[in-house]
Structure 1
Amino acid sequence: MTSSLFVGIDVGSQENVVCCLTQDDEKRPVSRFTVTNNRPGILEFQDRISKLAKQKQAEEILFGLEHTGCYSTHAAMYLQRHLDFGVQRRVYVFNPSLIREFKKSHYLSAPKNDRVDAWFIAAKLRTGLLPHPFTWSEPLMALQRLTRARYHLMQDLSRESNFLMTNLYLKFSDYSSTGPFKRNKLSATSIAVMEEFESVEELCEMPLERLIEFLVAHGKNRFENPEVVAKVLQKAARSSYRLPQSMSDSVNLAMASSIRVIRTVQEQLKALRKGIEDHLATIPQTLDSIPGIGPILASGIVAELDVSQFKSHAEAAKHAGLAWTVHQSGKFTANRTRLIHSGNRYLKYYMVEAANSVRVHDPVFAEYYAKKRAEPKEFAEGRTLALTARKLMRVVFYLLKTNRLYTPEGGVRQRA
């Protein structure tokens, strides 16, 4: 039997607390120490662990640490690739909730501090019930930085857009419901209307010919019938509530601030798109052969899904949070279940976005989406999209595993 050393590391922004256990059933650590969370600290860590492994005649070392965002990234990369301990090593990066539940299963009222957490991480390593070892790829991690930055900008854009819509309703209450831009309220022409007209009265009083000229100029002559658009816009303005002047000025100022933020975010999204496309071009993948999946959605999935870590598409779907809870006891099985709360939120976001796009462009997914949408279930729209994303995961997993191209008929063809 291989003699192993189990090293639990509680990662902090400034210090890493270390606890080392052996295969013996004793709870007492063979070593405890603290090092700084920087390059000198990790080199000191290497020296002390190497000496301890030699002293205990360990044939392998298992390192474990919680995923704590950016603070654990350097430590995991150095442990997995850059450091030499003289023996074989494996690195595991745990979801913090996994360690928290492991702690509860042993001690209901265990204290919460760095020393205790480091011990439980080492103890978890000793159980042998472990996830796939940590691996990393420089191109994928570089791509991941960009796709996650885009995710956060998209959240900012959505939040700022929603705030803009609340102020727009105060200024122009029927704009979103009966106005001509209800399908794309953030188009260039729509934003121009919000900025140009300080009140609905001003819009109502503008001569129709001038309003048509305004729409043609800002719409770059893309409207098939600008006169109809102008009439619908003025009709919505006439039926909207009126604001007192003092409140109208405040609402206009708030809207102008939101519009500036939205334009800035949109510019940054364009810059990120170029960087994402350039990085994706260097990574072998076939996801963009699926109708509806372009370089952005393909990048978001590829950067978050390492298929080598999963045995099946079901495991990959669970990693993405596209799996449902099971509530069963005896002969009772709950009919109403929800998506699991765990999972990679970035991967889930890009999978759902991809599913929503693919179901428009691919007849197989369009038929599946329509079938599920017609089922009389609660939360029908969200449920249908999640099920479509789950179905798409099967295809994504297979294509990434085999490096084959997708065909709309449902089969695959060998890549040329």
Structure 2
Amino acid sequence: MYYIGIDIGKRHHEAGLINDKGNHIGKTIRFANSKAGSEKLLQFINQYKLSPDNSVVGLEATGHYWLSVFSYLHKLGFKTTVFNPLQSDALRHFYIRKTKTDVSDAYLIGQVIRIDSPDETPFLEEDLLQLRHLERLRFSFVDQCSDLKRKVISLLDQVFPEYEQIFSDVFGMSSTEVLLHSPLPEDLLNIDTNKLADLLNRVSKGRYGEARALTKANQLQDSALDSFGITVGLDAFKLQIKLLLEQIKLIEDHLKTLEKAMIEISNRQKHFLTTITGISDVTACVILGEIGSISRFERPEQLVAFAGLDASVHQSGDFYSNRTRLSKRGSPYLRRALWQAAFVASYHNPALSLHYQKLRKRGKAHGTAVGAVARKLTHIIFAILRDNKPYEPRIIPE
């Protein structure tokens, strides 16, 4: 049996070949991340008469750069394993200590495949690959939107510090419309009270009602009259608030488009993740996109580790730390989605809320209890995806 190790880079990759005794065969080849590069890799494979029957391939999951090589090898029919760089780091450090000459990373990756004999990495289905790209873009948009909102609040704190106390949601429809037209106290004072009330009633689609809209308009103008905001450079503040709000609106429209597309794709998977209280349609999309095929994991503990929800242990000699923290290795997107779902489940999921309350009664901090719920939730997700069955909560009385 032959073992092909491929060291992944952004522009170029390097491939090395070893036999079943761990001996290097020939020299490594460097090939570009391009069609011409793939042809060079194929020549290397043909040169040593390698085939899916007599060889296996190993890749490090370096960023997203491995995907094209993985896809190409999958088409050729090779058994290919993609693994975390941490797995090859241990062997790499061993070689650094034991030898005086550098050992190519491609050979080291081949040694990992030879020694560990890991399972083949399932090819990611097209739908799941699309979900992964879309949900990660969504997280990027959500973070951008949050950052823009913080900037708007910062500007309002300077020119109209009383504004936040008037609306329960500064970025709700009514508040946003007011800020787009009249972001400064002097702007509000220049508007007729009845016209301001009509604007609020119209934007809220009648939810305010005439009387409440008039009360809110008077409240706005009274606050504007007594505002203690700065009064210099107001044109710049006004322009910034307007542009930031328009940017927020654009991103929120993009988020609606993204989420609609994500849910359409995830529904084709016929999963049962949303039968778990705490997991919304969007959260289910993130979970599916990040996990890919559940067959990648043999045990739920592996999925917990992949999400970085396992505890990191600090030990040195006879010293054991009594403070454990999440390892935070693996997918940050999956960990974020599971943490958000666990937060909701801690209060609304019949079984998981009992687990949360039990931990709180034992003196555990809120974050520690939510983390424990997240791990338990991950075990449930593993079982649902493995068995392809709806969630049936089992409530065990204390």
* Same fold per superposition (TM over 0.5): yes
Distance in 1, matches of 2:226 and 2:320, equals 52
Tell me, yes or no, if structure 1 residue 66 matches structure 2 residue 60.
Answer: yes
Structure 1 residue 273 and structure 2 residue 259: aligned?
Answer: yes
Q: 1:34 to 1:332 in 2, by over 3 A?
A: closer
1:76 pairs with 2:70? yes
1:37 corresponds in structure 2 to 33
Name the CA shift for 1:123/1:364 in 2 (closer, same or farther; >3 Å).
same
Q: CA RMSD in A?
A: 3.2
> Which aligned pairs between 1:110-259 and structure 2 lie closer than 5 A?
116-128=104-116, 130=118, 133-176=121-164, 178-181=165-168, 184-203=169-188, 209-223=194-208, 225-226=212-213, 229-230=216-217, 233-234=220-221, 237=224, 240-246=227-233, 248-259=234-245
Native 8 Å contact 2:183 2:241 kept in 1: no
2:93 is matched with which residue? 104
Closer, same or farther: CA 239–290 of 1 in aligned 2, 3 Å: farther
Residues 65 and 72, structure 1, Cα contact 8 Å, conserved in 2: yes
- How much does 1:340 deviate? 0.8
| TM-score relative to the length of structure 2 | 0.86
Match of 1:399 among 374, 377, 384: 384
**Conservation of the 8 A alpha-carbon contact between 2:138 and 2:258:** yes
**Which string of whole-angstrom CA distances, capped at 9 and with x for unpartnered residues, describes residues 148-194 of structure 1?**
22222222222222222222222222333x3322xx33211121222
Which amino acid in the other structure matches residue 76 of structure 2? Answer: L
Kindly provide the CA deviation profile for residues 42-72 of structure 1, in whole angstroms up to 9, marking residues without a partner as x: 2332232133145xx9953221222233321
Counterpart AA for 2:323: R
Query: TM-score scaled by structure 1?
Result: 0.83
SS at match of 2:79: strand
Q: How many residues align?
A: 393
Conserved? CA contact 1:65–1:92, under 8 Å = yes
Counterpart for residue 24 of structure 1: 21
Map 1:284-303 → 2, pairs under 5 A:
284-303=270-289
Q: Does 1:354 align with 2:336?
A: no
Name the residue aligned to 2:298: 311
Describe the superposition over 1:73-114 as per-residue Cα deviations: whole angstroms up to 9, x where unpaired.
1111121x2115xxxx4212232344344423431699999x
**For each residue in 1:357-409, what CA deviation from the matched residue of structure 2 results, as whole angstroms up to 9, or x when unmatched?**
434542333344445456655xx454443332222112211111111112456
**Structure 1 portions without partners, runs of 5+:** 412-416
The aligned counterpart of 2:48 is: 52
Q: 1: distance between equivalents of 2:97 and 2:215?
A: 68
> Structure 2: 5+ residue runs without aligned partners?
none
Q: 1:119 to 1:335 in 2, by over 3 A?
A: same
Q: 1:234 to 1:314 in 2, by over 3 A?
A: farther
Alpha-carbon separation, structure 2, partners of 1:101 and 1:232: 65
- Map residues 329-344 of structure 1 onto 2, 5 A cutoff: 329=316, 332-344=319-331
Question: Which amino acid in structure 2 is aligned with residue 190 of structure 1?
Answer: S
Supply the distance in 1 between the matched residues of 2:179 and 2:185 (Cα, whole angstroms).
10
How far apart are the structure 1 equivalents of 2:323 and 2:334?
25
Moved more, 64-73 or 366-375: 366-375
Distance 1:384 1:221 in 2: 42
The change in CA–CA distance for 1:165 and 1:277 in structure 2 (over 3 A counts) is same
